[in-house]
A and B are shown apart, each in its own frame.
Chain A
Amino acid sequence: MSGDQDVILKLEDVSKVYSGTVAVKRANFEVRKGAVNVLVGENGAGKSTLMKIIAGVEQPTLGRILLDGEEVSFSSSGDAVNRGIGMVFQELNLFGNLTVAENIFATREITNRFRKIDRKEQERRAAEFLERLEAGIRPDMLVEDLRIGQQQLVEIAKAVSLDARILIMDEPTSALSAAEVEILFKVIADLKARGVAIVYISHRLEELIRIGDTITVLRDGRITGQAEMKDVDTQWIVRQMIGSDAKDFAKADGHVPGEEIFRAEDICLPRVTGGLAVDHVSLSLRAGEILGIYGLMGAGRSELFDCIMGRHGHSTGTIFIAGKKVHERDTTRRIRRGLALIPEDRQREGLVSTLSVASNLTLASLSRFVRLFHIRGAAERQAVAQTVRELAIKVADPAQEVSSLSGGNQQKVVIGKALLTGPKVLLMDEPSRGIDVGAKADVFRTMRKLSRDGLGILFATSDLDEVMALSDRIAVMSNGKLTGMFDRAEATEAAIVAASALGHGPVPHGEQGA
């Protein structure tokens, strides 16, 4: 590594603990000025947490932050901004109902003597920043009228306007077109020349290698590799990202999948902002098979599931269950045909928090317990008791409100609800997200057992270990497209990661398979 005099910011032994989970473990991280410091890792590896600590959004539980060799502690992002640290957030932090200029100068409004906002001056200064981005954005446009990519550029202009000495960019290119990425890189080169330290986070390996000066790899909250970019290649990065520790997954039992139970053909879903969120995806699933769908955030996995469940009226394509075409287009009747979805966001889409555990469990399958129009209480209670037992849901009384359960048990309730509909095909979107280790193992065991009972399971995940350990076959999605399909035997982590980055850069699209 080069001389210490270039180091502007240093994290020493920094840890961050959220209620129960350790997001960052004893990380040491240096940021050099006039350089692009790249940070890379899988989803949930702790990159965003680390950056939020630097930007003052989060405070470290342990450890020290040294700015120019002097220990500092930021109590808010305002503190960090005052010390010259700016951040471009991954999720857009813009006010859609305000103009571009108003967004750029939000909380730092330029005012005249009478404390009235000087709109002209704001727009003039905003125009200077926007000009550098060459995106044809006028400062008086409303942010909500811009494309997502343009909004991201506004976010970048806002960060640049801070005149920051350290600029953190969390996935700045995730919504940009290839041309816009080129402009962004020019801006970055310009900032670099002026001595700004840039911390750059991205999933797109080819992009990192092109623009980065140093690279730091995170895995499970630990820093597993630090190097000069010129010394490393893609293989090295992937190796550091994945590591080799095994997690606790239920063992495969070697049963043989049966006939095809589900097939999707040519599923497309247009995006509001143009383009396709799901781009001509076709796949097939056999009874008793677990098909893992791997992809990064925004790869279109959840959207594909939504299309299959009939949640988007404007999606196109055909699905078949057990060889028969499904004509029904609404969720209610697709559930009756044997499809069930376990959504990614438990709170927003999985549970009705005002209802009891029992009512949540039977919500999707009430018709099973109904005679004429009367819910047979005894039958319902029996089914609830059986599900609680089978899935080992820890609940004292099923009449309790579901919000009183822990995350893992809530997830089991969502799974129980889907299973009570008697599905043939189960769609699970990130089934292990946000639940503790014990509950995770239970969920994985349940998946194994269900596949043994002949269910077809499609599960989406951005956890590489998980997809490798649980799947009979692995599909990889990127940018709405299916970019790879591997048998478990032939799948390698490197190939999967490579396929998940396809379609993001100038790299030509891979064929099906690897």
Chain B
Amino acid sequence: MTDIPAKAAVTSLSSGSVLLTLMKARTFIALIAVLLFFSIAAPNFLSAANLILMSKHVALNAFLAMGMTFVIITGGIDLSVGSIVGLCGMVAGYLVLNGIDLQVGYTIYFNVFEIALITLAVGILIGAVNGLLITRLNVAPFIATLGVLYVARGLALLSSDGRTFPNLVGKPELGTTGFGFLGAGRLLGLPVALWILLVVALGAAYLAKYTPLGRHIFAVGGNERAARISGVRVNMVKMFVYMFSGFCAAIVGLIISSELMASHPATGESFELNAIAAAVLGGTSMSGGRGTIGGTIVGAFVIGILSDGLVMMGVSSFWQMVIKGLVIIVAVVVDQAQRRLQSRVTLMQMAKAG
């Protein structure tokens, strides 16, 4: 009599564990599922050319999503990344075409490497503005970055009066040629953008796991007060995550204008939403404290493959939006279910241990 419930508990415990493992790997399962589905449903889906093209699309979102992941782990949100993409693209385009007029009859032209550095600095600077608003002036992250979203987009439009900077080939005599390398160049057969993604992603994953700063990011998001009492410089950590997010957005701005050889001020509109979606799909908790770079990258791939695959199948773009939305909602529902199951399994293990 006493045997039976004990046995039942054990089986339900082990089946709980299996379910839990499946749920933890859900993003991977989703990735494999979309890959399988489209390789059957969409012809040419698995061709090398298509895979490379897709991964370039995915890379853009993945950059933004990585920056977003750190921000969300600290318990914040960064709505301004799409606008930073646009503004940074305009900065790069302006520098290639016009250089900086010193107002004394000279104009400085930078080479492409310097232009890239300046553009990245601009992205980091806007991130720093976000960070200062949030840490020094105590503006809620949602509001601060919403404000910066509008300001940055407005500046991007002002920089060219709303026009596109076309034809960014540069002039050999000014040393501004070669801007196309970032977006269109290849190294060892793979797009340069993918290599950059690989480097930044590895760096970010290392930072998250093996450095004090990474540990502090998680601590701030998990419990800001406890982190502060433990001596974590909470404001510095927050400054960093917004600056890193701005840095990632600047990379995207550079890659897009380099790929198109033109800068358009409306570039990047609503990119922030895709970035948030990828982070959430990858298991980042909107309440802070949880998330991984790896999960976010996989999340970005799921979203990217989903939209590209649906395009290849000729699904209407209206339906694409509906499907993307459903996928995000399902991901979060499963996430919550996993959390509950996890705590139940933990409690049962504790009860079993006595």
A residues within 8 Å of B by Cβ? 309, 311, 330-332, 335-336, 341, 343, 348-355, 359, 363-364, 366-367, 370, 373-375, 377, 396, 401, 404, 417, 421
Contact = CB atoms under 8 A, between A and B. Distances in A.
28 contacts: A311-B228, A332-B233, A336-B231, A343-B226, A348-B223, A348-B225, A348-B226, A349-B223, A350-B226, A350-B229, A351-B226, A352-B227, A354-B288, A354-B289, A355-B219, A355-B289, A359-B218, A363-B232, A364-B231, A367-B212, A370-B212, A373-B213, A375-B211, A375-B212, A375-B215, A377-B210, A404-B350, A421-B231
A156 B218 CA distance: 44
B212 A366 contact: yes
Given A359-B218, A363-B226, 9 more contacts: A309-B229, A332-B231, A343-B229, A349-B225, A351-B223, A352-B223, A354-B288, A364-B231, A375-B215
Contacts of B290: 354
B222 A352 contact: yes
A329 B219 CA distance: 22
Contacts of B223: 348-349, 351-354
A374 B211 contact: yes
Contact of B221 (A335, A354, A367): A354
A126 to B, nearest CB: 34
A430 B95 CA distance: 61
Interface in B299-354: 346, 350, 353
A172 to B, nearest CB: 30
Among A350, A353, A355, the one with the most B-chain Cβ atoms within 10 Å of its Cβ is A355
Ranked nearest first, the 8 interchain pairs of A and B with the lowest CB-CB distance are A354-B289, A354-B222, A352-B222, A364-B230, A335-B231, A332-B231, A366-B212, A352-B223
Interface in B75-125: none
- Interface residue tally on B, bucketed by range: 20 to 34
Contact of A355 (B211, B222, B346): B222
Contacts of B210: 374-375, 377
Task: Determine chain B's interface SS by DSSP, over half rule.
Answer: helix
Nearest to A401: B346
Contacts of A331: 228-229, 231
A64 to B, nearest CB: 34
Given A352-B218, A404-B346, A341 B211 contact: no
A363 B231 CA distance: 8
Task: Please indicate which of the listed interface residues A351, A366, A396 has the most CB atoms of chain B within 10 Å of its own CB.
Answer: A366
B215 A341 contact: no
B289 A352 contact: yes
B202 to A, nearest CB: 14
Nearest to A404: B346
A341 B229 contact: yes
A431 to B, nearest CB: 15
Contact of A363 (B221, B230, B346): B230
A351 B225 CA distance: 9
Given A332-B232, A354-B221, A373-B211, A396 B226 contact: no
Interface string B190-231: 000000000000000000001111011011011101111111
Contacts of A366: 212, 215-216
Contacts of A370: 211-212
A463 to B, nearest CB: 23
A401 B342 CA distance: 11
A311 B229 contact: yes
Contacts of B227: 352, 363
Nearest to A369: B212
B231 A373 contact: no
B233 A373 contact: no
Contacts of A353: 222-223, 289
B218 A354 contact: yes
B237 to A, nearest CB: 11
A343 B288 CA distance: 22
B133 to A, nearest CB: 19
A404 B348 CA distance: 11
Contacts of A311: 228-229
A284 B353 CA distance: 46
Contacts of A417: 230
Nearest to B288: A354
Contacts of B232: 332, 363
Contacts of A377: 210
Contacts of A373: 211-213
Nearest to B211: A373
B20 to A, nearest CB: 14
B87 to A, nearest CB: 30
Contacts of A309: 229
Nearest to B206: A374
Nearest to B213: A373
Nearest to B223: A352
B288 to A, nearest CB: 8
Contacts of A335: 230-231
Nearest to A417: B230
B63 to A, nearest CB: 22
A370 B212 CA distance: 8
A363 B219 contact: yes
B219 A352 contact: yes
A366 B222 CA distance: 17
A396 B216 CA distance: 25
A349 B218 contact: no
